[in-house]
């Protein structure tokens, strides 16, 4: 079983101590995101094939990654770095810090252990298509030789995303829009060409309608990449989370509304204050009854 940690929250940035405690105890209790019963995911060595970690800040997680390796478990880090203005991401690390951390991960754990995510692509008056082309090229240049894949997706106007962007636009004086499909394809085509210039492959996450000729679909939970990291075959059937998703089957151990980073386009958090309280009240140094997120 591959364990995803987590596309619902940023465990490396905010929940590292919780994860270390769960890893030591061999299980995580997970809140059912659909309102059903909580469930338990085994984290025992014999039950886990590997981990996929999703983050915008892996620096607080460095010691814990070493513990994962010590248990003989491979991992891949899906590392988001967009370099967006503070009006969109006021608490995310700057692009230079993210690039440096990805290079550290590459040096420590190998070139297949980290994937860059330029995700999601958000079009605003602060970040028009020309800005994305220049910004993406700058980041790709800095990451040449560090990663071999960049995952891209375009922001989907979920209700939470719309509310967050509308509020930020009113507060900071910008506008935003959801571009037409042909505009997204054109930008994806250009980003794929830029990625290729810097020795990396662009993959598109669960959005085949916008996929240009030089890009392929993303498998963010990638059993082949995990196999390369592990040095052994990891077999997992494909079981995407939504149409167009090429991910291998996995179990996610995160929870929505628990990441306080405050990215205004986020679909996973309805209230930043609630997310802050979750981190404060469900930290791993609290009583054991609070051990799930």
Under 8 Å CB-to-CB from 140, ≥6 apart: which residues?
150, 194, 195, 197, 198, 200
Look at the alpha carbons of 266, 270, 276, 278 in this order and tell me if their dihedral is positive or negative.
negative
Q: What is the largest CA-CA distance in the chain?
A: 53
Cβ neighbours around 169 below 10 Å, total: 18
Q: Rounded distance, CA 91 to CA 97, Å?
A: 13
Bridge partner residues of 271 (DSSP):
none
Q: For residue 237, what are the contacts with CB-CB under 8 A and spacing of at least 6?
A: 248, 249
Q: Each residue of 35-87: pLDDT tens digit?
A: 778 889 999 999 999 999 999 999 999 999 999 999 999 999 999 999 999 99
Q: Report d(CA 219, CA 227) in Å as an integer.
A: 14
* Length reported for the chain: 293
| Tokens matching residue 41 | 């995911």
pTM of the model: 0.94
At 282 the pLDDT is 62
Percent of the chain with pLDDT over 90: 84
Segments forming the whole domain that contains residue 274: 2-290
Closest to 262 in 3D by CA, of 6, 12, 14:
14
Over the stretch 154-201, which tens digit does the pLDDT of each residue have? 999 999 999 999 999 999 999 999 999 999 999 999 999 999 999 999
Q: What are phi and psi of 180, to 5 degrees?
A: -70, 160
| Each residue's pLDDT tens digit, 263-291 | 999 999 988 998 998 888 764 433 334 44
Give the whole-angstrom CA distance, residue 105 versus residue 86: 25
- Residue 256 phi, psi (nearest 5): -70, 160
Number of domains in the chain: 1
- The residue among 100 and 278 whose pLDDT is bigger is 100
User: Alpha-carbon distance 260 to 112, whole Å?
Assistant: 29
Question: Which of 252, 281, 222 shows the shortest CA–CA distance to 14?
Answer: 281
- The whole-angstrom separation of Cα 231 and Cα 146 is 19
Where are the extended beta strands (E) located within the chain? 2-5, 27-30, 39-42, 50-55, 75-80, 114-121, 123-124, 149-154, 176-177, 201-204, 216-217, 250-252
């Amino acid at each position: 079983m591959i364990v995803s940690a987590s596309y619902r929250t940023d465990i490396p940035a905010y929940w590292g101590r919780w994860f270390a405690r769960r890893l030591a105890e061999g299980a995580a209790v997970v809140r059912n995101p659909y309102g059903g019963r909580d469930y338990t995911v085994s984290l025992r060595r014999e039950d886990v094939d590997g981990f996929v970690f999703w983050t915008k800040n892996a620096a607080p997680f460095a010691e814990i990654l070493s513990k994962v390796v010590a248990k003989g478990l491979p991992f891949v880090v899906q590392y988001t770095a967009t370099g967006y203005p503070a009006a969109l991401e006021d608490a995310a690390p700057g692009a230079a810090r993210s690039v440096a951390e990805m290079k550290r991960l590459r040096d420590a754990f190998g070139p297949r252990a980290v994937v860059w995510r330029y995700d999601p692509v958000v079009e605003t008056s602060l970040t028009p298509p020309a800005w994305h082309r220049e910004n993406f090229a700058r980041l790709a240049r800095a990451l040449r030789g560090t990663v071999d894949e960049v995952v891209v997706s375009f922001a989907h106007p979920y209700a939470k995303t719309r509310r967050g962007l509308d509020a930020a636009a009113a507060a900071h004086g910008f506008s935003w829009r959801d571009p037409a499909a042909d505009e997204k394809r054109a930008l994806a085509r250009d980003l794929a060409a830029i990625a290729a210039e810097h020795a990396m492959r662009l993959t598109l996450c669960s959005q085949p309608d916008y996929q240009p000729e030089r890009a392929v679909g993303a498998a963010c939970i990638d059993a082949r990449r995990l196999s390369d990291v592990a040095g052994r075959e990891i077999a997992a059937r494909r079981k995407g989370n939504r149409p167009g998703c090429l991910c291998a089957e996995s179990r996610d151990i995160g929870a929505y509304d628990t990441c306080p980073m405050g990215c205004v386009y986020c679909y996973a958090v309805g209230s930043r204050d609630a997310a802050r309280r979750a981190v404060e009240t469900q930290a791993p140094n609290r009583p054991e009854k609070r051990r799930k997120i």
